[in-house]
Structure 1
Amino acid sequence: MTTKTVLVAGATGLVGYAALKQFGGDPDCTVIALSRRRPPGFDGRHIPLDLTDGEACAAASATLRDVTHLVYAALFELPGLVDGWRDREQIDTNDRMLRNLLTPLMWHAAGLRHVTLLQGTKAYGVHVRPLAVPAREGRSEMREQPNFYWAQEDFLRGAQRGRDWSFTILRPVLIVGEAIGGAMNLIPALGVYAAVMKERGPVLPYPGGAARVSQAVDADLLARAIAWAGEAPAARNETFNVTNGDVFTWPNVWSAIAEACGMRPGPAEPFSLRAITSAEWERIRQRHALASPPLAEFVGLSMEYADYQMRFGQREPGRPAIVSTIKIMQAGFHDVIDTETMFRTWFSLFQRKRLLPPA
């Protein structure tokens, strides 16, 4: 007898797929995946759904009466990625997607207890200005910057008012984990780059620009935070930053990334990962008999995201992008992981699954 039913919206993305694995391993939990494509390896109930279709969302919600927890990890991004973060179409579409799903769901699912909503450091304006270090929940938000976070959050708070269910907003930093074709997953992007460079020799040059002190979060750690937030009284109607617990710069973790790909770290050689061609990746796929798809399907918009994160073309050191995690630790969530260990773990998994060439 399960005690809760978790609906994961955006189940093929970085966060959604990690959440599927997290809740799928809980014997007291029934998991339902909601996404356009079936998540790889998932044999549970899957609802193929376009969240921009309001009528389809209403019809699907009528079949979800048992849902007790919603993990909303769905995301719409425009081509070009970073430029789209301030685009009105991107903001309006993400706002509409949440409304389309939650509005009918909260009427049909009488036992709904909790909603988890994902934001990120764009809440602090990291994409348009240096952060106030450390950025803190409730004190450092950039509400004046148009952002779909604010549209979704305002709707969520209004929808929850007077109802029994609660919500938690989580703000992860750079997320690293397992997803194929996502907009912001660095493992496929960096793995493809390493594979192309390995054709030329054993040294992996650092392709980015001048360093900036940053943070990351392991997708599985974030999934554990989602599971905690869905049950913890201290997380009720609260917002929390989530990180691995340490800080890093790309040049300083480059040795771990190179070694995970079976290479030696090399000096900085600025290179846009967007310059890698489908033909280069296709030759590597064929040579190693990989299970991964063609380049565009494998990396999605992640090459653009890698260039942005590693500050390609930037010659001056960046201002630190650090958030405080004091609030979530004081509330009771204490998981941490070393960021170098995180990178090694995910490259190893992609290699074992023959999505990337062996190290």
Structure 2
Amino acid sequence: MESQTQNKSVALIVGVTGMVGISLAEALNNPTTLGSPWKVYGVARRPKPTWFPSSSLHRYISLDVCNLDETYHHLSSISNEVTHVFWVALHAGETEEINVSVNSLMLNNVLKVLTLSPTSPLKHVALQTGTKHYMGPIEGVIPANQIVPAVDPPFHEESARLPGPNFYYALEDILISYTPKFTWSVHRSSIIIGASSRTIYNTLLTLAVYATICRYEGTPFRYPGSRFTWEHFCDMVDSGLLADQQIWASVLSDKAKNQAFNCSNGDVFMWKNLWKFLCDEVFDVKYEPLDDEIEFDFVGEMKKKGSVWDEIVEKNGLEKTKIEEITCPGALKAVLSFGFQHVCSMSKSREYGFFGYVDTYKSIRMWVDRLREMKIIPTI
């Protein structure tokens, strides 16, 4: 019995209430998941929300990992257990320099505590980043339609880094600095589809709140992006698939250790087709094709809808949320204004042995249903 306990896989999910954090917790709680049986600890800055699936965790730990003393207080007692860290936490500040500083501090604090002992059992750290690796910061720096990726899409993992600060680069360098104490993997996600009210850049929830307000007020559900994105290819990634890739890289393949992998669903779509699907089959709002003659200040309009969302929450008995806390209109507007096709190559991932695939349309429908079950958005 002692031997079984010592050899058990023990995960620490940092950022457990985000879209991928929830998917990781649920996947690791499944007895058929790679590396099972897992003991799972989850860390988040705020207390556990009512919708969180508590049964998926051994313990929920509320702490601010920016504070080293607090991190030590909460994590030192489990540092002799944790074998795998899944880093899906994110701090988004006003500048990329702030992002580099704060996100680096967070990761360093956790790793310092977990590796204090020379006999630390920590084997692997899976780090989630994203396609900003190839594009650089997308908000408040240069217009989205003027962003130039390091290489033409589809994005490939071996592409050179862009000049200038990027906190994704900083976090990768921190992991590399710990070699060979533990192995690591980096997971550069596409636009993530999942269900949480505590994810900063939540495209699907922003769209869902926007559609809900349009339906409530009887106003058009206009596309807030450009003609280019309307008519060109894009991709997304299901949070469950992203969790599966992180677990695969962490426990199964030695070849996948100390490598970076893109992660997308494996299909592509055009926003003009997806928009009609959202209108007709997901949100029940009137479809309107893009009209270039109509000026639409999406970000400005969403800022005015706080009281409307409060009414919707009250009338439908939803989770108490504020529109500015659960939507990211600026980020969505940027993504829908790119002057290039947002597509990730999955060739390396497949070459190394990960063959996960999800249909984007089915994924969106499933996660919107989940948001309704969680009472984050109303049912139709």
TM-score of the superposed pair, with normalisation by structure 1: 0.89
Q: Is the 8 A contact 1:125 1:141 kept in 2?
A: no
Q: Aligned runs of 1:73-222 on 2, under 5 Å?
A: 73-78=88-93, 84=95, 87-108=96-117, 110-125=120-135, 127=138, 128-130=147-149, 131-138=151-158, 140-161=159-180, 163=181, 165-201=182-218, 204-212=221-229, 213-222=233-242
1:11 aligns with 2:16: yes
Pick closer, same or farther for the CA change 1:358–1:28 going to 2, 3 Å.
same
What number of residue pairs does the alignment pair up?
343
Aligned to 1:56: 70
Distance 1:158 1:169 in 2: 14
User: Post-superposition shift, 1:261?
Assistant: 0.9
For residues 42 and 309 of structure 1, the distance between their equivalents in structure 2, rounded to whole angstroms, comes to 33
Counterpart Cα distance in 1 of 2:115 and 2:287: 51
Alpha-carbon distance in structure 2 between the residues aligned to 1:21 and 1:274: 37
**1:254-333 alignment runs, 5 A limit:** 254-258=275-279, 259-268=281-290, 270-276=296-302, 277-299=305-327, 302-311=328-337, 318-333=339-354
Unaligned runs of 5+ in 2: 139-146
Is the 2:202–2:326 Cα contact (8 Å) retained in structure 1? no
For residue 86 of structure 2, the aligned residue among 71, 81, 87 is 71
Distance 1:355 1:306 in 2: 19
The amino acid across from 1:306 in the alignment is L
2-structure distance, mates of 1:118, 1:353: 25
Q: Cα distance, 1:203 vs. partner?
A: 5.6
Q: CA deviation at 1:104?
A: 2.1
Pairing partner for 1:30 from 34, 39, 57: 39
| 1:328 positional shift | 0.6
Q: Give, in whole Å, the separation in 2 of the partners of 1:292 and 1:195.
A: 16
1:236 to 253, 257, 260: 257
| Cα distance in 2 between the residues matched to 1:341 and 1:273 | 28
What amino acid sits opposite 2:360 in the alignment? T
Residues 273 and 342 (structure 1), Cα distance of their counterparts in 2 relative to 1, 3 Å cut: farther
Give structure 1 regions of 4+ aligned residues with deviation exceeding 4 angstroms.
Answer: none
Q: Secondary structure at the match of 1:134?
A: coil
In the TM superposition, residue 143 of structure 1 has moved relative to its aligned partner by 4.0
* Contact persistence 1:207–1:272 (CA under 8 A): yes
Whether the 8 Å CA contact 2:200–2:326 is kept in 1: the answer is no
Distance 1:291 1:55, change over 3 A: closer
Letter in 1 for 2:168: Y
User: What's the CA shift string for 1:88-125, capped at 9, x where partnerless?
Assistant: 11111111111111122123472111110112111112
2:192 is paired with a residue of what secondary structure? Answer: strand
d(CA) in 2 for partners of 1:289, 1:150: 42
Distance 2:135 2:222 in 1: 30
Q: What letter corresponds to residue 186 of structure 2 in structure 1?
A: I
**Is residue 351 from structure 1 mapped to residue 360 from structure 2 by the alignment?**
no
Following TM superposition, by how much is the alpha carbon of 1:271 offset from its aligned partner in structure 2, in angstroms?
4.3
Over the matched positions of the two proteins, sequence identity in percent amounts to: 27
Gaps of 5+ in 1: 312-316
Structure 1: how far apart are the matches of 2:320 and 2:268? 31
The one-letter amino acid of 1:207's match is P
Call closer, same or farther: CA 1:297–1:41 in 2, change over 3 Å.
farther
Flag the 1:75–1:226 CA change in 2: closer, same or farther, 3 A.
same
Secondary structure of the residue that 1:267 maps to in structure 2?
coil
User: Equivalent of 2:53, from 41, 51, 59?
Assistant: 41
Would the aligned equivalents of 2:197 and 2:376 in 1 still touch at CA under 8 Å? no
Q: How many angstroms does 1:202 deviate by? A: 8.1
- 1-side partners of 2:73 and 2:375: how far apart? 38
Question: Aligned in 2, Cα 1:303/1:181: closer, same or farther, shift over 3 Å?
Answer: farther
Shift of 1:273: 4.3
